[in-house]
Amino acid sequence: MNPRFARALSFPFVALLLVGLPIGAILFASCSGAKAGSSEPAAALRERGRYLVEQVGLCADCHTPRDEQGRLQMDRHLLGAALPFQPKVPMPWADVAPPLTGLPGLDDAAARRFLTTGELPGGRRPRPPMPEFRFAPADADAVIAYLRRPQPASPPAAH
């Protein structure tokens, strides 16, 4: 082969290599960086928490106020509510479900303990009708991550 022709032919390949390698390296670094970064797992944790709160635990049933027709007032989602129902027999009972947004008064450790054992700080337990949930620790962490910053517009599955 004519050496000048061979050189001319090899130029695009060398150029491709010179340009392509750094671009490839940058792309690889940014992809693996995104995987190792903290924002993606945090978002996934909150999304799981949203599912557990809005679709499994149905916390809104009691912790979100209702209008006169009994519809949940989503503009006050999880901000606490006076319960519109009572037991038929005398029993321990709480008439008010406190605000959940931000989990006021409970740090992460106390909230995790409550959601996994049903026990509040000082050995207190919530009165009925608050269900004593026993979330698995990883699920409790997801619920906490979501309740620190719930999305007011997210619709509950029920009602």
Which residues would be at the binding site for ligand HEC (CB under 6 A)?
53, 57-59, 61-63, 94, 97-98, 100, 105-106, 114, 120, 126-127, 129-131, 133, 143
Whole-angstrom Cα distance, residue 125 to residue 156?
26
> Minimal distance in Å, beta carbon 71 to ligand HEC?
16
Nearer Cβ to ligand HEC (16/96) = 96
> Minimal distance in Å, beta carbon 56 to ligand HEC?
7
Residue nearest to ligand HEC (CB): 57
Give helix then strand counts, H and E, for the chain: 5, 2
Nearer Cβ to ligand HEC (15/56) = 56
Angle in degrees, CA 69, 97, 49, rounded to 5? 95
Whole-angstrom Cα distance, residue 142 to residue 57?
12
Nearer Cβ to ligand HEC (143/145) = 143
Nearer Cβ to ligand HEC (72/106) = 106
Burial class (CB in 10 A: 0-12, 13-18, 19+), 97: buried
